[in-house]
Amino acid sequence: MTDLSPRRPHVRLTRLALQDFRNYATLQLRLDGRHVCLYGANGSGKTNLMEAVSMLSPGRGLRGAEFTELIRRDAEGQLARSWALSADVRDGDIDRKLGLSLELDEQGKSKRTARLDGVNTAQADLAELMRIIWLTPSMDRVFVGPAGDRRRFLDRQVMAHFPSHGTFGAAYEKAMRQRNALLERGRADPAWLDALELGMASAGAAMAIHRVDAVRVMQEAILARPEGAFPKALIDLDGQFETHAANDMPLTDIEQEIVSQLRENRSRDQAAGRTSQGVHRTDLRVIHAPKGLPADQCSTGEQKALLIGLILANAQALFERDFAPSPLLLLDEAAAHLDSDRRAALYDELAALGGQAWLTGTDRSLFDAFGDRAQRFEVSEGVVREG
C-alpha cells in the first residue's frame, strides 16, 4: 500500500476576503483549514470564488482573464474602480497575509499591487508561499484538442513546480514574436536576430529542462498511486529539446542546439511567417495505461478520470518536493460527472493527500461522502454562507 501521508506541514487558506471582484461586492470567508466545498445554482459565483483563489498564483488565474475583467459590474452595468482580494494563509504554524488588487485611475489606467505580510511585492513572489493547481470544465477536451491546449495544461502543472517557468515562457514568446516580425520585414539586422535567438534559446532550454523534470516526478507519482477509480496514465513529452533534456544534455548544449536551428531555419521561417521549430511546438502525450490506449481515443468519462488522476498525481508530486510549499487544489465541477463510487474515491484520495482542496458543485448532496472532512458553503448571487 502506498503511503500517501503528508511529509510536511500543509499550506491552507484560513481567510479569504474580496471586494468588487466579479459578482462579489464584499466577501469575508473564514476557513477552518479543512477542504472547502462550494455549492449553489448556476451563475451564483462558485467559479468566481475559485478564480479569486487561483489569482494567488503567478499569471492570470484559472480563466486566463485580464485583470480588468475581474472588476465588478453592478446590476446597472456600472464598473467599480478597483478590485481587491486578501487572504490569510497558514503554513505549518506560521500565518502569512497575502493581498492582490487592481485600481483604475481617472484615465482608466490600471495599477496592480501585490502584498505579502503588508509589504509590496511582485505577484510572482506569492508563489514563494502558494502553489496552486486546478482542474476546470474547459480542460475536459484537452486530450482531443490542439497541441497548444495540452502544452498550456502542461506548462501550468510545470509552473507549480518551478514558478520561473512562466517567466521563461513569456520571455520566449516575446523574443519569438520579435524575431517573426523582423523576418517578415525582410533584410533584418543579423546582430539583432542573433540576440533574439539567443534569448529564445536561453529561455527555451530552461523550459525544456523544467518540463522534463516535472513530467518525470509526475510520472513517478502516477505509478506510485494505488489502483482505483482514476486510471494511471503514461505521460511523455513530444519535443526534440525535451528529448535532449531527458537524455541529460547540459543546459548550455541545449541552448546551442536551439540557436543553431533557429539560425539555420531563418529563410524557411521567413517564408512560413512563423518559427517552425522550438519548445513552443512541444506536445504532451498521454496514454491510458490499463487500456494501452492514447487518451484522445478514450471515452469522455475515461478522459475525465485520467485528468483527475493526473492532477492528483501532480499534487502528490508537489507535496514531495522539498523546495516547494505544498499545493492547493482547485477542482471546479469535478464531482458532478463522477458516479457516486468515484466521487467517494476522490474525497478519500483528497483526505489522504492532506492540504486543502476547493471543490464546486450545484448540489450540496454531491459532497455527502466527504463527511466531516470538509467545510461547506452555499453560494447564492455573490453571497456565501457556511452550512
Ligand X SMILES: Nc1ncnc2c1ncn2[C@@H]1O[C@H](COP(=O)(O)OP(=O)(O)OP(=O)(O)O)[C@@H](O)[C@H]1O
Any idea what DSSP says for residue 326? P
Q: According to CB under 6 A, which one of 5, 42, 78, 247 is a site residue for ligand X?
A: 42
Radius of gyration in angstroms for the set of CA atoms belonging to the chain, rounded to a whole number: 22
Long-range contacts of the stretch 248-254 (C-beta < 8 A, 24+):
251/205, 251/206, 251/209, 252/205, 254/201, 254/204, 254/205, 254/208, 254/209
46 binds ligand X (CB under 6 A): yes
Contact indicator for 158, 314 with CB cutoff of 8 Å: no
Cβ 138 to ligand X shortest distance, Å: 11
Q: According to CB under 6 A, which one of 28, 30, 33, 43 is a site residue for ligand X?
A: 43
157 binds Mg ion (CB under 5 A): no
Q: According to CB under 5 A, which one of 29, 37, 45, 47 is a site residue for Mg ion?
A: 47
Footprint on residues 317-376 left by ligand X (CB under 6 A): 362
Footprint on residues 202-261 left by ligand X (CB under 6 A): none
Distance, in Å, from the CA atom of 346 to the CA atom of 334, rounded to the nearest integer, reads: 9
Contact indicator for 23, 347 with CB cutoff of 8 Å: no
Q: How many residues bind Mg ion (CB under 5 A)?
A: 2
State the cell numbers at 75: 446590476
Cβ 236 to Mg ion shortest distance, Å: 32
Distance, in Å, from the CA atom of 165 to the CA atom of 158, rounded to the nearest integer, reads: 7
Any idea what DSSP says for residue 282? -
Q: How many residues bind ligand X (CB under 6 A)?
A: 14
78 binds ligand X (CB under 6 A): no
48 binds ligand X (CB under 6 A): yes
167 binds ligand X (CB under 6 A): no
Cβ 86 to Mg ion shortest distance, Å: 23
Q: According to CB under 6 A, which one of 13, 16, 18, 23 is a site residue for ligand X?
A: 23
Which of residues 1 and 75 has its CB atom nearest to ligand X in the complex?
A: 75
φ/ψ region of 283 (left if φ > 0, alpha if ψ in -120 to 50, else beta) reads: beta
157 binds ligand X (CB under 6 A): no
Beta strands at 327-331 and 356-361: parallel, antiparallel or unpaired: parallel
For residue 139, the Cα-to-chain-centroid distance in whole angstroms is 11
Burial (0-12, 13-18, 19+ Cβ within 10 Å), 96: middle
54 binds Mg ion (CB under 5 A): no
Which of residues 40 and 163 has its CB atom nearest to ligand X in the complex?
A: 40
The stretch among 6-14, 44-52, 125-133, 317-325 that binds Mg ion (CB under 5 A) is 44-52
Instruction: Provide the b/e sequence for 276-291 (b: ≥16 CB within 10 Å).
Output: ebbbbbbbbebbbbee
Torsion angle of alpha carbons 116, 119, 125, 126, nearest 10°? 10
33 binds, among ligand X, Mg ion, none (CB under 5 to 8 A by kind): none
Q: According to CB under 6 A, which one of 47, 123, 157, 275 is a site residue for ligand X?
A: 47
For residue 1, the tally of other CB atoms under 10 A from its CB is: 4
Cβ 56 to ligand X shortest distance, Å: 17
73 binds ligand X (CB under 6 A): yes
Contacts with ligand X, residue ranges (CB under 6 A) = 22-23, 40, 42-48, 71-73, 362
Contacts with Mg ion, residue ranges (CB under 5 A) = 46-47
